[in-house]
Every structure is written in C-alpha cells, then in structure tokens.
Amino acid sequence: MSIQIYNTLTRKKEPFIPLEEGKVKIYVCGPTVYNYIHIGNARPVIAFDTVRRYFAYKGYDVTYISNFTDVDDKIIQAANELGEEVGELTDRFIDAYFEDILALGCTKADAHPRVTDHIDDIIQFISVLIDKGYAYESEGDVYYRTRKFEGYGKLSHQSIDELRVGARIEESEIKENALDFALWKSAKEGEISWESPWGAGRPGWHIECSVMAREHLGDTIDIHAGGQDLTFPHHENEIAQSEAMTGKMFARYWMHNGYINIENEKMSKSLGNFVLVNDIRKQVDPKVLRFFMLSVHYRHPVNFSQDLVESAANGLDRIQTAYNNLKHRLSTSADLGDQKDIWMHKVDEQITAFEQAMDDDFNTANGIAAIFELVKLANVYLLEKNTQAEVLTYFIETLERLMDVLGISLESETDLLDQDIEALIEERLDARKNRNFARADEIRDELKAKGILLEDTAQGTRWKRG
C-alpha cells in the first residue's frame, strides 16, 4: 500500500508517487528568526518531521530542507529595537530554534539554508524573471507580474478576479497591479542591503523559497509543506515564481498543517496568549507536547490547554509504563511459556494497523490508537505466568520502532538509582518478607517523597520516577 497524501493543489488524497523511485524530496517553509518560536511554529516542524520519519521508516531516502528567513521587515525592526545587528539577532534565534526543536524530538534538516547566503542566486533568479517578462522594475523595487502567470491562484483555488483587494494592499502607483508582489525591495536609509542591478535592497519574502528549494532540491520537488496560512499568498507566489522560471511543475504535493488555539482562542499577540516553546518545554515534558500534537491529525486544528496536555501526559505515561514493565519482566523472568507465534502475530497485526493509519495521509491519531492496542496486548501478555524472552523483546522493539516514527523515545533517562535508594528498596524487600509492613510502607513513602514510585509484582519490585 502506498502512502496517500492530501494534496492542497488537487484538494484530494492522492497516492504518493515519488519523482525518483525510492527517494523523496521535501521542502518545509521555516521560521522568520526574530524571536523564540511559539507552539504554533512548532506544529509544522513536528508534523513534517514525523512525515519525514515515516518516509524513512518505509525505506525512502529522504532529503529534507527547511529554510531560515533571516532578513525581512520584522527582523530589521526587532534588531533596531534591541540595538543589535541583524546578523547577531538572527544567529541568536537560530541557535534558540535548534535548541527548541531538538528538545521536541525533531531532527535537523539536511540543510537549513539562509536567505542571506543566497542573495546572488536570488538576484540572478529575479533577473531571469524580468527577462522573461514575469517581473518588472519600478523605482528600485522589482515586482512579479501576477497577471502574466496563467496558473495564478491554482493552489489556493482563488480566481485572481475574486481576490479582494484589502485595505492594506495599497493601490500603489509603482505597481502595475495591486496583486503584484515584491521580489526585491529597495533599501530605506540605513537598512541592511545588498547591491543589485536595481540598486541597493533586499529580497522580498516569497522569492527566497523558490530560489533555495531549487538550489537544494532541483526544479521539481516531491513535497512542499508549511502552515495552512502560507497557502496564500506565500506558496501561491512561490509557484508563480518557480514555474515561470523553469516551465516545470514546482512541487507535486502540497501539504498544509492546521492551526493551534490556546484555551479555545486564537493565539495572537493582541490576546497576549502566545506560548513560546522555550518556556513551555521547561514546564511540560517536551515528549508530552509532541505526543499531544500528534494525537490530532495534522490538518485539523488543535486546541492547546493545560487539561488536554495533562490528559495526553497520562496517555503517554500508559505507553511508557507498559514499555518499562516489559523491560522489567524481560530482566527478571525465565524464558518459559509457549504460544509464541500467536503473540507475535498479534503484534504484527498492530504494526499493520499502524502502517495503514500512517499510509492514510499520516494519520497519527490512528497510529497512536494502534500503539495503545499494542500496549493493551503487552499488558495482557504480562499477566501470563510464563513469558518468553523473544515475545517480550518483540513487544519492546516494536514499541520503540513505532514510537520512533512519532519521534518519541521510550528509553529511560540514564538516571541510575542512588546507592542509598537501592539500599532502601532492598531493606523494604526484607521488611516485607518479615511482614513488617509498617517499615515497608515507611520506606515506600520516603521514596515517594523523592519521586520514586514502587510497584510490587510477582517478579519483584520495580520502580519508576513519578
């Protein structure tokens, strides 16, 4: 079964057919680096990191590119306000970005190109568009001639005539048409700028992605992804630029993730309800944040609230506990029992269910359901008097493998017990043998106060951090 992808371009789920057998080239629009990222920024990073992981799981050779917009109005403004050089500011927030996304279990892209490293390519690209009649210079700016590109509007399914010219699109004298957008902006006094055939200036927002995607992935890429709000105008404009340039299809599949709301409200600066990843990940286990986001299909909106995150934490805990218990059993039980094939088969069924879910437009909500079924099976298996190492191992490895697709590691945090604690657990075992339950409970409470929870099983006492 091939992977089905909902393609914004066609508004349909389509079987994924790579340009090149066994390979997939993905470009994800990255952040404008003038601040720490918020959880809304984190959603596409997590969603498409998961897409990337699943492709890899399926054996694809994935090339994954995500850019940094490191020069634009907001950056210049922020730098001015902070009295910092643009380059300093962007370096700082790029570092912060990596810290944040790594904490969230995302892998770095194969390349993170920056706009400021591609100025020459951008200038060249724009020059060709001008030569081809798709762009024109006007008072030091260069604009894209939207009317000239026939397919304009095909991604957002907007008719160019229906687009409302908002109050903020100025019917500028220097543009031929209100919908024309800037490829090159002339520099204002004192602004960071680069020399160009049209004078000192800097790139417009949309051109960078066309240039960098082409540079790193070629004329046509398999998947182009980003937040829903980028569909128009950003991605529409990218298509116009790239296809005018190459005459070839720019991206075959367009994926867009849904929004995040905060406590049922839109996240916005005016409401002051921005949640920065850098803050929240210090309060909530980033694994939980990731698990929470993946519990909803990527195209649907997700509501971020303390209660919902907490309930996700409890769910993830169920998976973690089962995993820990399997490991504990493996290390404490004899290799007995039979019916190996039956159990292995049941595990396989859930692997299939997981893959079917993920094949269906990366339906992580259903994938997680399959993992929970696996957990249920494991818990039932652990009820057996005798277990087989091979079965336990298969459960453990499968859980690791599937959770890894979701970018969540179940490996314990290398925190070994202090000798003191270990001694206490030993002492408690003795106390229980001697039916000195008062002392046993005392020890359990003492450890609980230190965040160590004890669980007595037929195979001995196991513990976990609580």
Partner RNA sequence: GGCGGCAUAGCCAAGCGGUAAGGCACGGGUCUGCAACACCCUUAUCACCGGUUCGAUUCCGGUUGCCGCCUCCA
Site for RNA in 381-400 (CB under 7 A): 382-383
Verify binding: residue 57, RNA, rule CB under 7 A.
no
User: Between residue 410 and residue 429, which ones bind RNA under the rule CB under 7 A?
Assistant: none
> Which is closer to RNA, CB of 23 or CB of 450?
450
Give the nearer residue to RNA in terms of CB position, either 209 or 245: 209
Could you tell me the smallest distance in angstroms from the CB atom of residue 207 to RNA?
A: 12
Residues between 113 and 142 with contacts to RNA, criterion CB under 7 A:
none
Residue of 373, 384, 400, 427 that binds RNA (CB under 7 A): 373
Of the candidate residues 308, 344, 351, 421, the single one contacting RNA (CB under 7 A):
308
Question: Interface residues for RNA in 20-49 (CB under 7 A)?
Answer: 29, 31-32, 40-41, 43-44
Stretches 280-288, 341-349, 404-412, 438-446: which one binds RNA (CB under 7 A)? Answer: 438-446
Given 12, 23, 248, 300, the residue binding RNA (CB under 7 A):
300
Question: According to CB under 7 A, which residues from 138 to 197 bind RNA?
Answer: 156-159, 162-166, 168-169, 179, 181
Of 53-61, 100-108, 109-117, 259-267, the segment contacting RNA by CB under 7 A is 259-267
**With binding defined as CB under 7 A, does residue 260 bind RNA?**
yes
Alpha carbon 156 to chain centroid, angstroms: 23
Question: Between residue 72 and residue 101, which ones bind RNA under the rule CB under 7 A?
Answer: 74
Using CB under 7 A as the binding criterion, the count of chain residues that bind RNA stands at: 79
List the one residue out of 317, 291, 328 whose CA is nearest residue 404.
Answer: 291
Q: Looking only at residues 274 through 293 of this chain, which bind RNA when binding is defined by CB under 7 A?
A: none
Measured from the CB atom, is 29 or 239 closer to RNA? 29
Assess contact for 224 and 251: CB atoms under 8 A: yes
96: exposed, middle or buried (Cβ count in 10 Å: 0-12, 13-18, 19+): middle
Pick the closer one to RNA by CB: 18 or 406: 406
Query: Rounded to an integer, what distance in angstroms lies between the CA atom of residue 276 and that of residue 99?
Result: 13
Rule CB under 7 A: choose which of 127, 138, 193, 228 binds RNA: 228
Closest approach of RNA to the CB of residue 21, in Å: 28
**Can residue 329 be called a binding residue for RNA (CB under 7 A)?**
no
Q: Per rule CB under 7 A, is residue 104 in the interface with RNA?
A: no
Among 67, 257, 387, 398, binds RNA (CB under 7 A): 257
Of the listed pieces 125-133, 195-203, 363-371, 408-416, which binds RNA according to CB under 7 A? Answer: 363-371
Backbone φ and ψ for 137, nearest 5 degrees, come out as: -90, 140
